[in-house]
Chains A and B, each alone.
Chain A
């Protein structure tokens, strides 16, 4: 595959150079497998092969971009022509530059054992997730979906400054969505796991966890409004971590769309909070050797003991501040220009076991589920989201609740964190341990 992609890449660069433009070509080839089982039967089996290129040209500071899923010489030529034509219409921008040639760190992202595993074995993994969930409790009435998925990819980035970056990798995951029913009450349960190596998957653990989550939520009560301490479980804390990731994205910052603009070096969070972005984390789902424009990957601390250390940068945003890229250029596919994104972005865990976080809370909420998280506004920092979980009474978990909203502002949220547990868990490329907040506003009955 490397040969084929390289040839197409060279052809595209040649076409662009002939028009007097600097250029970068991003080529991707991916294979995908997805298996969903219901009652032990394979309900959907999806297999896919995808290939494509994205070409970025730079002419007198003007950027043009085009993509194509057809890599034939005619189509590649067409894409380059489209990109050049478009570049004339874009505003010139002196910070639009291509990164130079570089050396890359060694990091293995390819697991041969996952590739060698047969489809039947992968179906068995999906079945085992479903089976484990059903075995927990007879109240697990519906398996909405249980599945296994994996992706194998090759990325190649070449630019007219001689940069050449090739990487191949794979990852896989399992997931389950289910429903527990009991006496006219139905509650959802969910769990998932993504890893680099299929043998690291724990289907039984994931199935059981989803089942227990649903059972635990049955016969939830409503709670009254007020201000009270709140403990977020790792899943919910990770969702908040996602909002923090968008607030430290230099693109958002430079456009005045982040609360954390202009706050580097300042105390923006409680001193117990540190956040890292580790692109070189072994076996991390968000790991890479080079970012989406071929800049070498690195690990960095974003927030250290509550002080904002740096934003996440690509070459463009770094150039604007006269700094260096942090290796955080990201693109979802060959269909877009590199933006800025996190790699493995996580809250550094504390030393306490989770149960100690509850100590001393007379009346509070342990939140295990949030709804409408995507409506939280990374710009203003305001959030007001639906929440469900368990009520904390006198330092221990009590009955389940649902139907309340928790509201606040991210700036206060960050300052309000007063303890972290040791139970760091990753959900894809983001992770967090359980977090305790001194106080949040709760709207209920």
Chain B
């Protein structure tokens, strides 16, 4: 990593007269990826990358310069470029007084595996998936881990350091029969190391994905039209993230791009609905100690019993609203400026028994696994793909259905949830706001939406 004295010098140079902030973010990253497909270890990658991003802010306008050249000369060039781009004048008098160093605790218990051991796990999982049925046409298993060491120094005299490691495992299966093809998908990931696999083994994930793809082959097409939808906790919180969470990000609210603008203190969801963003959850994929501009990650209650309490903030948007950052300034890498992002976002568990929610539903769709989706934060419209769905009839799960999508409106859905289970299930993903991918986790209990449009082909 880079000497504190050099970073302080660079910040002093970037922090020209009349600027509100100068910041340097340094990142050193080591990553590895293994991919198995077609019954063979197809790709193994290893990479090392380091770089720095310099941000200067003046009157809410930002100049951002990044480089891989971490020499003194390279950093000084980048700092000068950023300062000049925003019209800051060099000011040798404007000294940055450094406060104490703040370092995130380093986890001692991360388990790392050799290449050979990782490959062994993957090979076993591949066999497990292939063993499910002769209809399995393809199995893809990917394992990725990344270790990042970051330093942040800014003109407020803050020095932050954090080491993060993350592991993510994916299984994709393809089953085929009589010209029809269906896919299955399972993933797991978290902050830390391979101890993650103590929760669920890679082989059992592969088994689940393979079984799903085979089951969906014989599923009739999903019905189209409006109906009650029960979303199992297993489906995870993709919907709350997409259809609600983005609209609660202060940068979008401030630009007038959120349905939740001017709604603080108002009722925006059913009484049984509370929404929370929590970066402090142990080991979840979206957890962190410091955010990517040096604020502490925290737990933020966004919607409490249907009432909108606050928005998510990074440093810049908090400054605009005259509040403190909620520790949600995140970035993909040194190549990006931080923006307001969720961490682990969830609908809080309620009182109802998940089984009873299904048995009290005369007719509808049960969603057990969500696929991808897209949301328009301006009006709250969303579309989600259903990976695993079942028809509910007379309170019983009738049979799986394929090719369903959910189409609706986020705020409308939150106001039309009438049952909330006491369970909680997580899903994880990489959120791609502004073209920057950051790891997140989303969670929800089993919930019932009174009525939702299901797009299907039947």
A residues neighboring B (CB under 8 Å): 41-52, 63-70, 75, 78-79, 82-83, 86-87, 89-91, 93, 119, 141-142, 144, 179, 186-188, 225, 254-257, 259, 335-337, 371-375, 377, 379-382, 384-386, 402-409, 441, 443-445
Bound together, the chains give a CA A256 to CA B454 distance in angstroms of 29
Partner of A375, one of B373, B375, B379: B373
Bound together, the chains give a CA A87 to CA B256 distance in angstroms of 52
Partner of B46, one of A65, A257, A372: A65
Q: Mark B355-391, 1 if CB is under 8 A from A, else 0.
A: 0000000000000000111111011011111000000
Q: Mark B225-251, 1 if CB is under 8 A from A, else 0.
A: 110000000000000000000000000
Q: Are B376 and A371 in contact (CB under 8 A)?
A: yes
23 pairs from A and B in contact (CB 8 Å cutoff): A43-B62, A45-B86, A47-B82, A48-B65, A49-B66, A50-B67, A63-B43, A65-B45, A69-B48, A90-B42, A186-B379, A255-B38, A257-B174, A335-B45, A372-B385, A374-B372, A379-B181, A384-B456, A403-B453, A407-B405, A443-B224, A443-B453, A443-B456
Partner of B62, one of A45, A66, A188: A45
Additional A-B contact list (20), CB under 8 Å, known A89-B41, A441-B224? A44-B63, A45-B86, A46-B63, A47-B63, A47-B81, A47-B85, A48-B67, A65-B45, A90-B42, A90-B44, A188-B379, A255-B138, A259-B181, A336-B45, A337-B45, A372-B383, A375-B374, A375-B384, A402-B381, A407-B405
Q: Is B61 an interface residue (CB 8 A)?
A: yes
Instruction: Give, as a whole number of angstroms, the nearest-CB distance from A412 to chain B.
Output: 10
Task: List residues of chain B with CB within 8 A of the CB of A44.
Answer: 61-64, 337
The interface on chain B, measured as residues whose beta carbon lies within 8 A of the other chain's beta carbons, has a size of 72
Q: Mark B42-83, 1 if CB is under 8 A from A, else 0.
A: 111111111100000000111111111100000000000110
Q: Are B457 and A408 in contact (CB under 8 A)?
A: yes
Q: Are A142 and B68 in contact (CB under 8 A)?
A: no
B residues neighboring A (CB under 8 Å): 37-38, 40-51, 60-69, 81-82, 85-86, 115-116, 119, 137-138, 140, 174, 176, 180-183, 224-226, 255-257, 335, 337, 371-376, 378-379, 381-385, 402-405, 407, 409, 453-457
Task: List residues of chain A with CB within 8 A of the CB of B38.
Answer: 254-255
Q: Are A380 and B180 in contact (CB under 8 A)?
A: yes
Report, nearest first, the 9 A-B pairs whose CB atoms are least far apart: A405-B455, A375-B385, A372-B383, A386-B383, A443-B224, A91-B40, A384-B405, A67-B47, A380-B181
Q: Are A386 and B374 in contact (CB under 8 A)?
A: yes
Q: Are A50 and B68 in contact (CB under 8 A)?
A: yes
Q: Are A372 and B138 in contact (CB under 8 A)?
A: no
In the complex with contacts A89-B119, A380-B180, A142-B255 CB distance below 8 A: yes
Bound together, the chains give a CA A141 to CA B453 distance in angstroms of 30
Instruction: Give, as a whole number of angstroms, the nearest-CB distance from A257 to chain B.
Output: 6
Q: Are A93 and B40 in contact (CB under 8 A)?
A: yes
In the complex with contacts A48-B67, A187-B379, A255-B138, A375-B372 CB distance below 8 A: yes
Q: Are B182 and A380 in contact (CB under 8 A)?
A: yes
Q: Are A66 and B46 in contact (CB under 8 A)?
A: yes
Q: Are A179 and B64 in contact (CB under 8 A)?
A: no
In the complex with contacts A375-B383, A384-B404, A45-B85 CB distance below 8 A: yes
Task: List residues of chain B with CB within 8 A of the CB of A372.
Answer: 372-374, 383-385, 405
Q: Are A382 and B402 in contact (CB under 8 A)?
A: yes
Instruction: Give, as a whole number of angstroms, the nearest-CB distance from B253 to chain A.
Output: 12
Q: Are B42 and A91 in contact (CB under 8 A)?
A: yes
Q: Are B371 and A375 in contact (CB under 8 A)?
A: yes
Q: Are A69 and B50 in contact (CB under 8 A)?
A: yes
In the complex with contacts A69-B68, A385-B383, A443-B454 CB distance below 8 A: yes
In the complex with contacts A44-B64, A187-B379, A407-B224, A335-B47 CB distance below 8 A: yes
Bound together, the chains give a CA A337 to CA B45 distance in angstroms of 8
Instruction: Give, as a whole number of angstroms, the nearest-CB distance from A254 to chain B.
Output: 8
Task: List residues of chain A with CB within 8 A of the CB of B381.
Answer: 371, 386, 402-403
Bound together, the chains give a CA A384 to CA B224 distance in angstroms of 11
Q: Are A46 and B86 in contact (CB under 8 A)?
A: no
Task: List residues of chain A with CB within 8 A of the CB of B373.
Answer: 372, 375
Q: Are A407 and B183 in contact (CB under 8 A)?
A: no
Q: Are B49 and A67 in contact (CB under 8 A)?
A: yes
* Chain B residue at smallest Cβ distance from A91: B40
Q: Which of A51, A381, A405 has the most CB of B within 10 A?
A: A405
Instruction: Give, as a whole number of angstroms, the nearest-CB distance from B62 to chain A.
Output: 5
Q: Are B457 and A407 in contact (CB under 8 A)?
A: yes
Instruction: Give, as a whole number of angstroms, the nearest-CB distance from A269 to chain B.
Output: 17
Instruction: Give, as a whole number of angstroms, the nearest-CB distance from A219 to chain B.
Output: 12
In the complex with contacts A86-B115, A225-B225, A49-B67 CB distance below 8 A: yes
Partner of B68, one of A70, A259, A337, A441: A70
In the complex with contacts A375-B405, A380-B182, A386-B374, A45-B63 CB distance below 8 A: yes
Task: List residues of chain B with CB within 8 A of the CB of A337.
Answer: 43, 45
Q: Are A89 and B374 in contact (CB under 8 A)?
A: no
Q: Are B41 and A91 in contact (CB under 8 A)?
A: yes
* Chain A residue at smallest Cβ distance from B387: A375
Task: List residues of chain A with CB within 8 A of the CB of B407.
Answer: 386, 403-405, 443
Instruction: Give, as a whole number of angstroms, the nearest-CB distance from B293 to chain A.
Output: 15
Task: List residues of chain B with CB within 8 A of the CB of A69.
Answer: 48-51, 68
Task: List residues of chain B with CB within 8 A of the CB of A66.
Answer: 45-48
* Chain B residue at smallest Cβ distance from A87: B44
Bound together, the chains give a CA A75 to CA B46 distance in angstroms of 13
* Chain B residue at smallest Cβ distance from A185: B379
Bound together, the chains give a CA A368 to CA B175 distance in angstroms of 34
* Chain A residue at smallest Cβ distance from B454: A443
Bound together, the chains give a CA A372 to CA B385 distance in angstroms of 8
